[in-house]
């Protein structure tokens, strides 16, 4: 069982996201919606996901960040429209485990005492683990997926692997939504509103200055 299938089997995968015209319109509407409240996530869960995404995709003088593009609205809307109830519940439980591990690692008992720097450290722990630790977490995830698949019972996943998996899934979803946003697509990536002549095997530096094409 590969890693993506393991995540899917335990309900911790948002799936492969293709930015279709319909999904792109959802992203754009989220960026202009100021009177928004989450439908799937609680306010606390949405705030946590938003903070994780903003650490992964921060604002800079050159580029907007996840918060600037309101990516949390897209994530909640996407989960409402495209993610199964089982996956939503697993995501919620894994977000709680992320909190539990963060509190334990920093020897604190209240989430409001956790600093942004401590959350940054936790994200780095899950996105840049040693090969040995990553292998242990992936093994735990795959074993949990096999057990859940064979028994049909609820997934039993320890806190560290769950927090590791949900952090990586949030990153994947955030990056896809970021690349699919109108501003990034038109102002940052190579953009051709009316595709022209198809040329294969060309040098990317010569054609786009090294930029990836907009979706």
CA–CA separation, 163 and 167 (whole Å): 6
Task: Give the domain extent around 108.
Answer: 3-180
CB-facing half-sphere around the CA of 79: CA atoms within 13 A:
28
In this prediction, residues 110-134 reach a mean pLDDT of 96
- The yes-or-no verdict on residue 100 having pLDDT over 90 is yes
pLDDT band with cut points at 50, 70 and 90 for residue 44: very high
SS3 7: helix
Domain contains 13: yes
Is residue 70 within 8 Å of residue 46, measured between CB atoms?
no
User: Higher pLDDT residue, 155 or 143?
Assistant: 143
User: Mean pLDDT across the chain, nearest whole number?
Assistant: 79
Q: Using an 8 Å Cβ cutoff, are 140 and 158 in contact?
A: yes
Judge contact between 109 and 97, C-beta under 8 A: no
The answer for residues whose C-beta is within 8 angstroms of residue 210's C-beta and 6 or more apart is: 204
Q: What's the total number of domains in the chain?
A: 1
Distance of CA 206 to the CA centre of its chain: 32
- Residue 204 counted as domain residue: no
Do the domain assignments include residue 190? no
**Structural domain contains residue 202:** no
Other beta carbons within 10 angstroms of residue 201's beta carbon come to 4
Q: How many Cα atoms within 13 Å fall on the side-chain side of residue 165? A: 37
pLDDT value at residue 45: 95
Which pLDDT value is given to residue 189? 47
Q: What is the mean pLDDT of residues 185-189?
A: 50
Does a structural domain hold residue 69? yes
For residue 116, being part of any structural domain is answered with yes
pLDDT tier at 172, thresholds 50, 70, 90? confident
């Amino acid at each position: 069982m590969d890693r993506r299938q393991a995540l899917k089997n335990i309900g911790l995968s948002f799936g492969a996201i293709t930015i279709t015209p319909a999904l792109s319109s959802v992203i754009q509407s989220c960026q202009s919606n100021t009177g928004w409240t989450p439908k799937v996530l609680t306010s606390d869960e949405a705030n946590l996901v938003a903070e994780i995404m903003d650490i992964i995709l921060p604002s800079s003088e050159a580029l907007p960040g996840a918060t600037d593009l309101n990516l949390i609205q897209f994530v909640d809307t996407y989960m409402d429209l495209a993610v199964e109830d089982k996956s939503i519940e697993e995501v919620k439980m894994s977000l709680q485990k992320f909190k539990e591990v963060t509190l334990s690692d920093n020897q604190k008992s209240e989430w409001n005492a956790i600093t942004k720097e401590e959350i940054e450290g936790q994200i780095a722990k899950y996105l840049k683990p040693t090969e040995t630790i990553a292998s242990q977490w992936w093994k735990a995830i795959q074993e949990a997926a096999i057990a859940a698949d064979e028994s049909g019972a609820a997934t039993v996943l320890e806190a560290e692997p769950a927090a590791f998996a949900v952090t990586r899934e949030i990153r994947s979803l955030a990056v896809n939504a970021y690349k699919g946003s109108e501003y990034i697509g038109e102002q940052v990536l190579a953009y051709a509103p009316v595709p022209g002549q198809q040329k294969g095997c060309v040098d990317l530096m010569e054609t786009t200055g090294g930029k990836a094409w907009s979706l």
